[in-house]
Amino acid sequence: MEVNIHEAKTHLSRLLQRVAEGEEVVIARAGEPIARLVRIQPEKTTRPLGMYKGSVVVPDDFNDPLPPELLAQFLGTEEPSGNPTRKKRTKRKRK
């Protein structure tokens, strides 16, 4: 597809959408092509296998069930007990 500069400025969003879909757009001045809009191909980067080997440790008890009190906190069925940093909210009376 070929468009002139005025049309390219006016409809840039539409042209970029077409380019994103794989179409090539040529911008011309007085019928002379001066620029080409093409989709950028993402660079393919490969990560070497074993790159983080030895830096991640999974404990042996990872899949063990949680202690009952901790599980209750996750499920929201029990208030945490003995947590001095967390205070219960009380409603203030309006004046």
Q: Is the pLDDT of residue 82 over 60?
A: no
* Residue 19, number of CB atoms within 10 A of its CB: 17
Backbone angle region of 80, left / alpha / beta, with phi > 0 → left and psi within -120 to 50 → alpha? beta
Report helix, strand or coil for 15. Answer: helix
- Write down the pLDDT at residue 88: 61
Looking at every residue in the chain, the average pLDDT score rounds to 86
Work out the average pLDDT over 25-53. 91
pTM to 2 decimals?
A: 0.45
Q: Is the pLDDT of residue 41 over 90?
A: no
Q: Is the pLDDT of residue 17 over 70?
A: yes
Spatial distance between the Cα atoms of 76 and 37, rounded to a whole number of angstroms: 55
Q: Is the pLDDT of residue 64 over 80?
A: yes
* Residue 61, number of CB atoms within 10 A of its CB: 7
* Cα angle value 27/29/35 (rounded, 5°): 35
